[in-house]
Amino acid sequence: MTDRAFWKSFSGLIAALVALAVVLFILAQMVGGKPAKPVEATADAKAVAERIKPVGEVTVGVVPAEKVTTTSSNAVMEAIIPSANAAAGADGKKIYDASCMACHAAGVAGAPKLGDKANWAPRIAQGTDKLHTHAIKGFQGKAGMMPPKGGNMSLKDEDVKAAVDYMVSQSK
Ligand code: HEC
C-alpha cells in the first residue's frame, strides 16, 4: 500500500467514524437523553412539598364560623391526653427526669438526693411554698447552689412546682 492510498482509506475511515458518532449522538438524544422539562421539575417540587408539609397548620386571623372546630379539637385533645385539663398537664416526674435529675439523682454539687429522707426532712419542714420559691428563683444554701429552675429557664413556674412536689413525695 502506498502512503497515498493509506491516507485515502485512513481519512475515509475517520470520516465514517465521525459520521457514526454523530448518528449515535442523535439516536441517544432521541431515546433517553431528554433533559427534564421544567414542568416535571415543578411537579416534583410540588410532590416533595406535599410530602413534607406539616400535619397541622395554625391559622392566624379571622376564621369563618363554619370552620371553627374548637369543641371538636378539644375533644380530640382530651382523648389523646386524658390529663390535658387536670393539673394543667404538669407532670412532675417527667420534668424532674428532664431538668432536675442531673443533680438530684446522685447529689451532684451538694444537691439533696431524691429519696434521701434525712437530707429532705429539714427542707420539707420549711414548707412547700419556700421549696417552690427556692426551686423557681434559685437558692444558695450551705450545701451548694440550686440554680433558678434547675437552669432550664423554659420551664413554667407550675412545671418547677410540680417537679418539687414530685421530689418531696419521693423523699419523705
Ligand atoms: C446544677 C445542679 C442542680 C439542678 C439541675 C437542680 N438542682 Fe435543685 N438543688 C441543687 C443544689 C446544689 C441544692 C442544695 C442547695 C443547698 O441546700 O445548699 C438544691 C436544692 C433544691 C431544693 C431544696 C431547696 C431548699 O430550700 O432546701 C429543691 C426543692 C430543688 N433543688 C428543686 C429542684 C428542681 C425542681 C430542679 C429541676 C427543675 C432542680 N432542683 C434542679 C442543685 C441543682
Task: Please state the atom number of ligand 1 nearest to the C-alpha of residue 123.
Answer: 27
Q: pLDDT: is 116 or 47 the higher one? A: 116
Q: pLDDT: is 169 or 77 the higher one? A: 169
CA-based angle 41:47:52, to the nearest 5? 125
The three cell numbers of residue 171 are: 423523699
Q: pLDDT: is 156 or 83 the higher one? A: 156
CA of 111 to the centre of ligand 1 (A): 6
CA distances from 33 to 21, 24, 37, 39, 40 (A): 15, 12, 12, 17, 15
Query: Taking the CA of residue 93 as centre, how many other CA atoms within 13 Å lie in the half-sphere pointing to its CB?
Result: 2
Measured from the CB, is residue 145 less than 6 Å from ligand 1?
A: yes
CA of 147 to the centre of ligand 1 (A): 7
Measured from the CB, is residue 109 less than 6 Å from ligand 1?
A: yes
Distance of alpha carbon 114 from alpha carbon 124, whole angstroms? 12
In angstroms, how far is CA 92 from the centroid of its own chain?
A: 22
Measured from the CB, is residue 149 less than 6 Å from ligand 1?
A: yes
Of 96, 116, 146, the residue with max ligand 1 atoms within 8 A of its CB, to mutate for a pocket test, comes to 146
Q: How would residue 32 be classed by pLDDT, with cut points 50, 70 and 90? A: confident
Would you state the pLDDT for residue 142? 93
Average pLDDT over residues 110-134: 96
The three cell numbers of residue 85 are: 385539663
Average pLDDT over residues 97-101: 95
pLDDT above 80 (res 149): yes
CA-based angle 76:82:88, to the nearest 5? 105
Would you state the pLDDT for residue 130? 96
Torsion angles phi and psi, residue 41, rounded to 5 = -60, -45
Q: pLDDT: is 33 or 168 the higher one? A: 168
Residue type at 96 in one-letter notation: Y
Average pLDDT over residues 156-162: 95
CA of 40 to the centre of ligand 1 (A): 59
Q: How would residue 51 be classed by pLDDT, with cut points 50, 70 and 90? A: confident
Q: Look over the chain and give the mean of its residue pLDDT values, rounded to a whole number.
A: 82
Which amino acid residue places its CA nearest to atom 30 of ligand 1? 135
